[in-house]
Amino acid sequence: MIFDLHSHTRCSDGSLEPLELVARAIDKGVDVLAITDHDTLDAYKGLSLQQGRLGLVAGIEFSTQWESTGIHVLGLNVDPASDAILAGVHYQTEARRQRAERIGEVLEKKGVPDAFAGAAALAHSGYIGRPHFAQYLVDIGRARSIEDAFRKYVGDGKAGDVRQHWADLPRVVQWIREAGGITVLAHPLKYKLTRTKLKRLLAAFMQAGGQGMEVVSGQQNPQQTAGMGQLCQQMNLLASCGSDFHRADTHWGELGKFPALPRNVTPVWERFS
């Protein structure tokens, strides 16, 4: 069976509507899918957890910070109606909107007109993220592509990389666990930490109540998969995997197209109730 436990829709920064994502997952042979939009559960409105032969696992991806590093935590198999998870969504939505307004102000000072309004018009819901600003920059001719917009304006370390006061790590973990979910550190290789520092992050995550890590995130080489599997086993964490799908034009993040979990780890879905 193919479990893809990390994907996004237009409810955050993906390109497909929830039903379009479901149809694509079925077409790609996925058996179990988690939609894990950033700080929102809107994709699950009107969706049942059984879509033909495809099973859905309710999920979410929360932003938080560890030391000076922005990190993401997945909540898998949560109850979307729980008071705890809804409180988390409300808190993060407000924080994200404040961040978007600040990005807009910064870009205005850089000579980009109506930056916040332009990004908001491209957003499908209350989620306004840097990809929406990047698309707006492309639309008004200030960047050649999304990648160019990130490179010049909104990527890490650029003017539009506005830091945000997200909820802290223990609070994010608490929201997920109180909603009956399993907490998973998303795409650990993406943070570009040394092995020693990544182990410290995982230790802090576990101390806060974290339960798993993504051993496989999209396309990665066998050495990376083996290394993450070994670390997962050493830390006695549950192992998760997913494409981190956002849009159809990225080969590295296609639904269901990623390496299998190593055999020496415990898959997170074994703990789904």
Examine the pLDDT at 30 and tell me if it is beyond 90: yes
**Which residues are registered as beta bridge partners of 132?**
none
Examine the pLDDT at 125 and tell me if it is beyond 70: no
Q: What is the DSSP letter of 147?
A: H
Residue type at 155 in one-letter notation? G
pLDDT-based confidence at residue 129 (cuts at 50, 70, 90): confident
**Which residues are registered as beta bridge partners of 72?**
63
Q: What is the pLDDT of residues 142-179, one digit of tens each?
A: 999 999 999 999 998 898 988 778 999 999 999 999 99
Pair of tokens at residue 266: 């415990």
CATH architecture of the domain covering 3-89+166-271: Alpha-Beta Barrel (3.20)
Cα–Cα distance list, 122 to 96, 100, 226 (Å): 15, 13, 39
Do 90 and 193 touch, CB atoms closer than 8 A? no
- Mean pLDDT for 243-258 is 92
Do 169 and 65 touch, CB atoms closer than 8 A? yes
CATH code for the domain defined by 94-154: 1.10.150.650
Residues of the chain with CATH 1.10.150.650: 94-154
Cα separation, 92 vs 64, whole angstroms: 9
Q: What is the pLDDT of residues 191-244, one digit of tens each?
A: 999 999 999 999 999 999 999 999 999 999 999 999 999 999 999 999 999 999
Residues of the chain with CATH 3.20.20.140: 3-89+166-271
